[in-house]
Amino acid sequence: MKLIPQPIALKITAVFGAAGVALGAFGAHGLEDLLTKNGRVETWETATFYLLVHVVVMLVLATWKTWKPGAWLAFALGSAIFADSLYLLCLTQLGWLGAITPIGGVLMIVGWVLLAVRQ
């Protein structure tokens, strides 16, 4: 059994996609005043953009016939850490959360490298 079975990866990817759309809409409509006051509109948009871009890649990987979860897992963890740390930073203004964001970015880079060397 693989670390993450392919059907579970596909379900997690779908949840990430739904969350990305919901958080993007919530930021644009429900949190617009708070994000503007905190000067974090662009930060919220960046978090949502990176999350949704990597959801598309995760979807492709989760549907490949030759399931190798390494790159998918790096993208999933990286996207979650990257986006969630930025979302929390936007809402709380706790500056130390910005120090966590690069961990997610590095994991996303690892995902791309794994994708490059897996073929």
- Alpha-carbon separation of residue 65 from 2, 61, 68 (angstroms): 14, 9, 9
Q: What is the pLDDT of residues 5-63, one digit of tens each?
A: 999 999 999 999 999 999 999 999 999 999 999 999 999 999 999 999 999 999 999 99
Residue 45 amino acid letter: E
**pTM given for the model:** 0.93
What is the pLDDT, as a whole number, of residue 2?
67
Q: Measured between alpha carbons, how far is 50 from 45 in angstroms, rounded to an integer?
A: 9
Q: Is 21 in contact with 56 (CB distance < 8 Å)?
A: no
What is the pLDDT, as a whole number, of residue 6?
94
